[in-house]
């Protein structure tokens, strides 16, 4: 540091010359210390940070897609595997009841046939008030897992029966009549309620299916009081949570179907508020993992809600007409000739003179897929920007998402065919979402039956190409479809037979999808878990540092960190492994 600083240039030509110069100014004008030549961050560091910012979306999407598909697999489990396990457990229970009833009947017959062998002893007065102990009846073969399957099945059935009392159409019109700002507030309140109910519901369902609740007592008998009250609590929670999700779906449906884009834009702005609330904060790896789990659940729930809305809108706009004339809404005209003319002429689009056969996609796809793509696209963009800026401000590399994927894959692989630990870690409310879809599917089926009631097709007299057998088969199929949708009392047997066949086919398709998807996910999780174990066995040598995590990352030890940061604290920071982090665990300053 010189004794006196040089004077800056006082003439305009000299100042302009220094501004236009390519080299540094002379020490006669500006004093520059030697420390100023060392940049705070080199260009290589900034370039790497920028490259990480641009390469983050693929790494993030790998975790989000795996988690969302795993959530879909757990959701399919409720519709496919859980009914089979429920029937298996009920079969074991009924078999035990029948065996005990047959044994009691045989004992009764023996006692009637030989009354002299029966000895009636007065009960001990001291044992009258004691609890009944098992004497001759054998304990059932029901295990704790069987009892959990029965309770889950009853929980879904009773919750769906209670939710059938709700009228989604009336709820839709009540929400639609509200102001836009009030609808925005309702959607935010329902979103917060969903997270709060998910946090408490996870504990309720775990306590309901725990061994402390379902195991036998010391006397060999099954517990009754605690499972009963836990089931009542779980039922109340499940109905409330499923109803809140139903209101959220209907609110989003009102925004999608609104004539003005202002309402949909208002709800989409709620997603961009997440950027403001997350990127300007300090994030540890545990918080980032919880935020990633929250994004996985949020994306899956958004998929499911938009699927429900798309099903409803397809039925309303007549999208099922592409499947054939049997799925076309009935014509309002009463003239058979006019109806035949309207059915046989080439349909025209509203914006072109080309027939529908010249178009690749039906015109209703824009009405249905437009909001679907807008909402999902905005959600993906918000996730990319949010995680990219979090990693930028916290100096985190995208490789951390590979560790997140390893943790999720390990949960899926090590807990396969047992308890679904992955859904517990993610905080996914599987049973409320299943009840929500069942209620929405029933409403869609009722709308389908009310709107698409076709009249039986009359055979054409001048048709020379169709055979009598084909004509009779088509007429029989049309009559069967008409009977199913109209609910004719004369064809009640055919109606129920057709419904059973329809739902059986749907169940078999879902079961096949569940098995194929489960096998694919299990294979992928096995490969990730094997790679994780191989990296753990790799020897990492870092002089002056210590190995951190399971991929060989090196950071400065605690003494050097305190020396650099000037800390005087002697206590060491508690290191939390990602394997012990759940969605709703307070491992840092905030739960996401």
Specify which residues 548 forms β-bridges with: 553
Give me the mean pLDDT over the 7-19 stretch.
84
> Is the pLDDT confidence value at 55 over 80?
yes
The per-residue pLDDT for range 75-102, each reduced to its tens digit, is: 999 999 999 999 999 999 898 888 888 8
Position 339 confidence tier, pLDDT thresholds 50, 70, 90 = very low
Give me the mean pLDDT over the 530-548 stretch.
65
Closest C-alpha among 381, 404, 477, 537 to residue 63 = 404
Give me the mean pLDDT over the 402-429 stretch.
87
Kindly report which listed range (440-444, 454-458, 585-589) carries the lowest average pLDDT score.
Answer: 454-458
Name, in order, each residue with C-beta under 8 angstroms of 484's C-beta and a sequence gap of 6 or more: 449, 494, 495, 498, 499
In a domain, 478, yes or no: no
Q: What is the pLDDT of residue 564?
A: 41
Q: What percent of the chain has pLDDT over 70?
A: 67
Q: How far is it, in rounded angstroms, from Cα 251 to Cα 187?
A: 7
> Is the pLDDT confidence value at 486 over 70?
no
In a domain, 40, yes or no: no
Provide the token pair at 233.
Answer: 């609590």
In a domain, 539, yes or no: no
Give me the mean pLDDT over the 438-465 stretch.
67
Kindly report which listed range (97-106, 167-176, 280-289, 485-494) carries the lowest average pLDDT score.
Answer: 485-494
The per-residue pLDDT for range 103-149, each reduced to its tens digit, is: 888 888 887 877 655 555 555 555 554 454 555 556 667 888 889 99
The per-residue pLDDT for range 281-332, each reduced to its tens digit, is: 888 888 899 899 999 999 999 999 999 998 888 887 765 554 555 555 555 4
Q: What is the pLDDT of residue 423?
A: 85
Q: What percent of the chain has pLDDT over 90?
A: 29
Position 34 confidence tier, pLDDT thresholds 50, 70, 90 = low
Helix, strand, coil shares, percent, the chain, to 5: 70, 0, 30
Q: Which domain holds residue 449?
A: 66-104+141-331+362-458
In a domain, 348, yes or no: no
In a domain, 481, yes or no: no
Give me the mean pLDDT over the 489-495 stretch.
60
Contact 296, 71 (CB under 8 A): yes
Q: What is the pLDDT of residue 318?
A: 65
Position 16 confidence tier, pLDDT thresholds 50, 70, 90 = confident
Three-state DSSP class for residue 459 = coil
Structurally, the chain folds into a number of domains equal to 1
> Is the pLDDT confidence value at 263 over 70?
no
Contact 368, 314 (CB under 8 A): yes
Most trustworthy range by pLDDT among 28-32, 267-271, 518-522: 518-522
Closest C-alpha among 578, 510, 590, 585 to residue 549 = 578
Q: What is the pLDDT of residue 143?
A: 85
Closest C-alpha among 452, 482, 484 to residue 321 = 452
Angle between helices 144-163 and 430-451 (to 10 degrees): 40
Three-state DSSP class for residue 222 = strand
Three-state DSSP class for residue 359 = coil
Q: How far is it, in rounded angstroms, from Cα 514 to Cα 75?
A: 9
In a domain, 327, yes or no: yes
In a domain, 480, yes or no: no
Specify which residues 555 forms β-bridges with: 546
Specify which residues 541 forms β-bridges with: none
Q: How far is it, in rounded angstroms, from Cα 411 to Cα 296?
A: 15
How many CB atoms lie under 10 A from the CB of residue 50? 11
In a domain, 119, yes or no: no
């Amino acid at each position: 540091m010189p004794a006196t600083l040089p004077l800056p240039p006082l003439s305009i030509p000299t100042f302009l010359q220094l501004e236009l110069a390519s080299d540094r100014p002379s020490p006669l004008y500006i004093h520059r210390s030697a420390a100023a030549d060392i940049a705070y961050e080199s260009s290589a560091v900034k370039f790497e940070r920028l490259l990480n910012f641009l390469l983050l979306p693929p790494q993030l999407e790998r975790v989000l897609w795996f988690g969302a598909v795993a959530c879909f697999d757990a959701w399919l489990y409720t519709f496919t595997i859980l009914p089979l396990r429920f029937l298996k457990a009920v079969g074991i229970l009924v078999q035990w009841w029948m065996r005990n009833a047959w044994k009691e009947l045989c004992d009764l017959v023996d006692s009637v046939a030989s009354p002299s062998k029966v000895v009636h002893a007065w009960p001990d007065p001291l044992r009258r008030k004691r609890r009944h102990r098992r004497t001759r009846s054998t304990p059932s073969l029901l295990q704790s897992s069987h009892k959990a399957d029965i309770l889950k099945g009853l929980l879904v059935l009773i919750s769906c029966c209670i939710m059938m009392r709700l009228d989604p159409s009336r709820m839709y019109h009540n929400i639609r009549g509200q102001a836009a700002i009030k609808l925005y507030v309702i959607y935010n309140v329902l979103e917060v309620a969903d997270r709060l109910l998910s946090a408490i519901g996870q504990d309720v369902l775990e306590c309901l299916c725990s061994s402390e609740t379902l195991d036998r007592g010391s006397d060999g008998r099954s517990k009754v009081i605690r499972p009963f009250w836990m089931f009542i609590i779980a039922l109340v929670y499940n109905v409330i949570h499923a109803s809140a999700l139903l209101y959220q779906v209907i609110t989003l449906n009102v925004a999608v179907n609104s004539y003005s884009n202002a309402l949909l834009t208002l709800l989409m702005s709620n997603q961009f508020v997440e950027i403001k609330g997350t990127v300007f904060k300090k994030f540890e790896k545990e918080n980032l993992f919880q935020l990633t789990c929250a994004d996985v659940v949020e994306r899956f729930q958004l998929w499911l809600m938009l699927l429900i809305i798309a099903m409803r809108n397809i039925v309303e706009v007549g999208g099922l007409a592409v499947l054939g004339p049997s799925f076309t809404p009935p014509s309002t005209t009463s003239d058979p000739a006019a109806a035949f003319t309207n059915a046989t002429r080439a349909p025209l689009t509203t914006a072109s003179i080309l027939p529908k056969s010249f178009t690749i996609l039906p015109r209703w796809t824009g009405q249905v897929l437009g909001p679907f793509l807008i909402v999902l696209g905005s959600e993906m963009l918000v996730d990319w920007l949010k995680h990219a800026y979090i990693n930028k401000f916290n100096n985190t590399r995208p490789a951390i998402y590979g560790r997140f994927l390893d943790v999720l894959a390990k949960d899926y692989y090590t807990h396969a065919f047992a308890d679904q630990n992955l859904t517990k870690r993610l905080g996914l409310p599987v049973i409320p979402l299943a009840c929500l879809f069942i209620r929405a599917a029933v409403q869609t089926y009722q709308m389908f039956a009310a709107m698409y009631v076709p009249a039986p097709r009359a055979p054409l007299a001048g048709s020379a190409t169709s055979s009598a057998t084909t004509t009779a088969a088509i007429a029989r199929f049309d009559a069967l479809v008409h009977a199913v949708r109209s609910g004719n009392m004369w064809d009640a047997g055919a109606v129920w037979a057709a419904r059973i066949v329809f739902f059986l086919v749907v169940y078999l398709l879902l079961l096949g999808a569940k098995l194929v998807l489960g096998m694919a996910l299990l294979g992928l999780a096995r490969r990730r878990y094997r790679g994780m174990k191989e990296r753990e066995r790799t020897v990492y040598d870092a002089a002056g540092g210590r190995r951190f995590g399971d991929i060989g990352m090196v950071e400065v030890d605690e003494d050097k960190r305190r020396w650099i940061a000037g800390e005087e604290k002697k206590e060491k920071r508690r290191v939390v492994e990602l394997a012990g982090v759940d969605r709703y665990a307070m491992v840092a300053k905030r739960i996401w």
